[in-house]
Amino acid sequence: MAGKTLYDKLWDAHLVKQQEDGSALLYIDLQLLHEVTSPQAFEGLRLAGRQPWRLSGNLATPDHNVPTTAKEREIGVEGIEDPVSKIQVKTLDDNCDEFGITEFKMKDLRQGIVHVVGPEQGATLPGMTVVCGDSHTSTHGAFGALAHGIGTSEVEHVLATQCLIAKKMKNMLVRVDGQLQPGVTAKDVVLAIIGKIGTAGGTGYAVEFGGEAIRSLSIEGRMTVCNMAIEAGARAGMVAVDDNTIEYVKGRPFAPQGDDWDKAVAAWSDLHSDDDAEFDVTVILNGSEIKPQVTWGTSPEMVLPVDATVPDPSQEADPTKKQGIERALEYMGLEANQAIESIQLDRVFIGSCTNSRIEDLREAAAVVKGHTVASTLKQALVVPGSGLVKTQAEAEGLDKIFIEAGLEWREPGCSMCLAMNADKLGQGEHCASTSNRNFEGRQGFGGRTHLVSPAMAAAAAIAGHFVDVREFNGYNG
Amino acid sequence: MQKFEQHNGIVAPLDRANVDTDMIIPKQFLKSIKRSGFGPNLFDELRYLDEGQPDQDCSGRPLNTEFVLNQDRYQGCSILLARENFGCGSSREHAPWALDDFGFRVVIAPSYAEIFYNNCFKNGLLPIVLSETEVDELFAGVEATEGYQLQIDLHKQQVVTPGGKTFSFEVDEFRKHCLLNGLDDIGLTLQHADAINAYEAKRSQEAPWLFSSFK
Ligand code: SF4
């Protein structure tokens, strides 16, 4: 019999009951909650007179709606100016208080984007099952965990039963061989993967990312890759546990300690696919060929290396694809065959659960240091992923580097990633963004998003248009 | 949850691949803490010419008359015909809530994003997968005939065209059972409370660190 994949092992370890009809009850170790997808779940619980199954299996923090200016943040939830956002954040606070769920509220230094907070606190651990009413829950797979997004009805189901009704997915291995070139980051790797397999390429699969280039990424880089697994259609992305994973987890507030730590480390050493494991599909990329990536269209698969030109629909034979390109070019206000480097920018956003951790901020700061943001830019925002990331960045003086270069330094939250708070694009504006979705209107009505790495966003902020960060004057990575 | 057995309804064609949930219901409407009331903002950015605000009265807003849901011939529609990878992107269950609130009971497409697909069943909305060719055929039919209706039979797992042609579709046994009976799956899972307790007892021995609290 063939060996097991990492996903097989995680699945087996959490199987509570296999039903005859093919569905299964899967035990959930950790559910993360935020204000947007939880109110209706708590309401459902209340209406049915149910209690959470296990309080300690849940951790909450508001992130999507929270304002990011210091002034609006000063007094906590009462200071939120948008009345509708305020109600939503308050509802999360009230629900967590009522049911007794631990929440990092707005004024808590530990507050931040759920997918930054979980790993930072050691709440996310190797070998866990992690869910959240948020598709980017795949981020936590970087720790050798089975982590994926769920809908609000499922949030309620997990609250009430600590289980999920699930069906086993198929196994896909995405192997990135070789070494990355300097200036090419985890974000470029995952964009290149999505460009290769498409936004539906991973549908139905749990994707394991492996290969030399993935193994050489830091844990935060692996989080960036797993974060965008969903943009390739895969609910769950994961990377095997190695010494770096264990090193990263060690000493975090909720990580096991003492005897438990030793036991845990021993258990985690098995969290990789067996040598003879079989994958349903294997996709291979050569890491040394990946260049810095920029999305030009309205879907993450519409991505190209920075030195490329925007596609020409007249060269596309498939009518549906041709129509897709035409529509995207029109929405994005681009001409066929236009050089990516010629795209002029209005705003730059460095943040989101994809790229708002300390290493991302260091990467961006290294590029902007000693430069000034282009005068043609309306705004360049840096939004750290959590209060602790912000504190760390300030201790390293990164905030000063950004501010001196003319970027704004904000309070933690999702911010312009989905523009539920006041940070958004105006109609027709082009934005170099380190977030994960370039859908129409995602960052604001009529806004035009280009997804890039933090280093590329930083270089674009200085130049006012896209530039290849590998050739960018002053780049010292 | 509302039951689903059979349904007869007018079909609206949305001829576009990779329709994401941001498009189905834009983020400003996710600020609601309710499950209902999303219908007027379904496909907001495609449907109206201006930018919609939460809690706004939509009746006076300028309509994009070219958008399918604004065309006379599709008024009263309850079956949405779509292209591949429908419902991709964000996990927001507000997307099926909005489709349901608008009056849709069925979506037909060649493929769906998984979270969206799952979310539909939790809300009594039936997502049907037909092949590309069958979907093409339905698009042609809808185009050609005003008031084009389909008959959906979940028991038989069939879509029946006005001309009497039938297409079969697959649906997971468990989901079919829940939909036919309007069952709440939390109640069903709680029938296995003993199994969950037994799992926890065993697991907390093996991996006690998974059961510590966040205090
Ligand atoms: S940062 Fe963006 S993608 Fe991530 S959780 Fe927030 S809104 Fe979602």
Ligand 1 centre distance from Cα of residue A390 (Å): 17
Please list the residues that pair with A408 across neighbouring strands: A381
Q: Please give the pLDDT value at position A19.
A: 87
Tokens of A330: 């029109």
What is the rounded distance in angstroms from the CA atom of residue A381 to the CA atom of residue A386?
Answer: 15
Interface test with A, best of B92, B123, B214 (most A CBs within 10 A): B214
Tens-binned pLDDT, residue by residue, of chain B (215 aa): 788 999 999 999 999 999 999 999 999 999 999 989 999 999 999 999 999 998 899 999 999 999 999 999 999 999 999 999 999 999 999 999 999 999 999 999 999 999 999 999 999 999 999 999 999 999 999 999 999 999 999 999 999 999 999 999 999 998 999 999 988 889 999 999 999 999 999 999 999 999 998 87
Q: Which tokens hold the place of A129?
A: 């099952």
Asked if A295 has any chain B CB less than 8 Å from its own CB, the reply is no
Rounded to 10 deg, the angle between the A358-368 and A454-463 helix axes is 30
pLDDT band at A2 (very low <50, low <70, confident <90, very high): confident
Q: What average pLDDT does chain A have?
A: 96
Type and span of the H or E element at B10? strand B6-13
pLDDT of residue A475: 47
Number of neighbouring beta carbons within 10 Å of residue A196: 15
Mean pLDDT score, A123-130: 98
What is the rounded CA–CA span in Å between residue A61 and residue A269?
Answer: 31
Q: Residue A246: which pLDDT band, with cuts at 50, 70 and 90? A: very high
- Whether A60 and A32 have beta carbons less than 8 Å apart is answered as yes
Nearest to B211 among A56, A121, A419 (CB): A56
Which residue of chain B is at minimal alpha-carbon distance from A30?
B210
Structure tokens at B57: 């009265």
pLDDT value for A419: 85
In B, minimum Cα distance to A206 occurs at B114
Residue among A64, A154, A271 with most chain B CBs within 10 A, to mutate:
A154
In short, whether A106's Cβ falls inside 6 Å of ligand 1 is no
Given the structure tokens 């909720």, which residue do they identify?
Answer: A254
pLDDT of residue A436: 97
- How far is residue A48's CA from residue A35's CA, in Å, rounded to a whole number? 21
A48-63: per-residue pLDDT in tens? 999 999 999 999 999 9
| pLDDT in the model for residue A474 | 53
Residue A303: half-sphere exposure toward Cβ, Cα within 13 Å? 31
Radius of gyration of chain B, Cα coordinates, nearest whole angstrom? 20
State the nearest Cα–Cα gap between B126 and chain A, in angstroms. 16
CA–CA gap between residue A138 and residue A224 (Å, rounded): 10
Tokens of A46: 């209340």
Q: Is the pLDDT of residue A260 over 50?
A: yes
Q: How far apart are CA B97 and CA A334, in angstroms?
A: 35
Own/partner contacts of A105-108, CB < 8 Å, gap of 24 or more, are A105/A61, A105/A62, A105/A76, A105/A77, A106/A62, A106/A66, A106/A73, A106/A76, A106/A77, A107/A73, A107/A76, A108/A61, A108/A387
Say what the pLDDT of residue A473 is. 65
> Rounded to 5 degrees, what angle do the CA atoms A64, A69, A71 make?
125
HSE of B72, CA atoms in CB hemisphere, 13 A: 1
Query: CA angle, A134 as apex, B49 and B169 as ends, to 5°?
Result: 80
Report residue A332 as tokens.
């994005």
For chain A positions 302-361, those within 8 Å of chain B (CB to CB) are 320, 324, 327
Where would I find the beta strands (DSSP E) of A21-157? 24-27, 30-33, 58-60, 102-103, 129-132, 146-149
Write out residues 6-45 of A within 8 Å (CB-CB) of B.
16-17, 19, 21-23, 25, 27, 29, 36-37, 39-40, 43
Q: What is the ipTM of this complex?
A: 0.94
